[in-house]
Amino acid sequence: MSENCLFCGIVAGTIPSTQVGENDRAIAFMDIAPATPGHLLVIPRAHSTDLRETAPEDLAAITLLAQSLIGRVIERLDGATGANLLSCIGPDAWQTVFHTHLHVIPRYPNDPMVLPWQPHAGDMDEIKAVSAKLV
């Protein structure tokens, strides 16, 4: 538990939230600044800054809870045809709350959410050079 963490306050019940699911290690609640209708967050109960710090048991718990919620999102929300599962790690990757969380973002035909990444063919020499640093 981190004293100044918004999400730790939600876990503790001192900050209100609209919860939609839980398990023994994780909770899920509606995002108050949704990208699309039904946007929710899944967090571990234990504080960790991001996925790099998250205990394996907590990572499994948030992933399994997110999986079940993705099914509900697509089945129960009128017009939802898919979902994005997103984890932002660090300020340059849009992380604004530094407690591990997964965004479950319902997707609808012609919804307003646009990510800045537009896939295009990469330079294969660069791809191979970068991959060499990761193996």
- Kindly list the catalytic residues: 101
- 3-class SS of residue 2: coil
| Residue the block writes with tokens 């791809």 | 127
Residue type, 124: M
> What's the distance, CA 103 to chain centroid?
3
Name the DSSP class of 122: P
Interatomic CA distance for residues 38 and 78, integer angstroms? 10
C-alpha distances in Å from residue 46, one per residue of 21, 53, 95, 114:
16, 11, 18, 31
Interatomic CA distance for residues 75 and 87, integer angstroms? 23
